[in-house]
A and B are shown apart, each in its own frame.
Chain A
Amino acid sequence: MSAAVATPARSRDAGDVGAVLRLLPLLARTDRQSLATLVLPVVAFAVTTALLLTVVAGTIVFIAWEERDVLYPVLGAVACTLLVVPLVTLSGVAARLSARRRDDRLATLRLLGATGRSVTLIALIESTVVAAVGAIAGVALHVVLVPFVGLLPFGGAPLGAGALWLSPGTVVVVVVLTVAVAALAAASGLRRVRITPLGVRARTDAPPLRGLPALIGAAVIVAGFLALQVVDGGILVFAAVISVVLGATVAVLNLIGPWLLGVIGRIQVRLARTPAQLIAARAVLEDPKAAWRQVSGVAMTTFIAVVGGAGMSLIGTAQDIDQILVDIRVGVLVTLAISFVMVACTVGVTQASAVLDRRELWVNLHRAGMAPETMDGARRRQVLIPLVATVVFSACVGGILVLPLIGAAVLFAPLSLAVVAACFALGFASILGALAASRPVLRRVLADPESV
Chain B
Amino acid sequence: MIVAEQKPLQAVLEMLRGHRKVLAVGCGTCVSVCFAGGRKEVGVLASALRMARGLDGEPLQVDETSVQRQCEVEYIEALAGGIDAYDAIVSLGCGVGVQYLADRFPGKRVLPALDTKFMGGPTEAGVWEERCQGCGSCILDRTGGVCPISRCAKQLMNGPCGGSKGGRCEVDAGIPCAWQMIWERMEALGRLDELLEIQPPKDWATSRDGGLRRVVREDLRTPRGDAS
A binds B: no
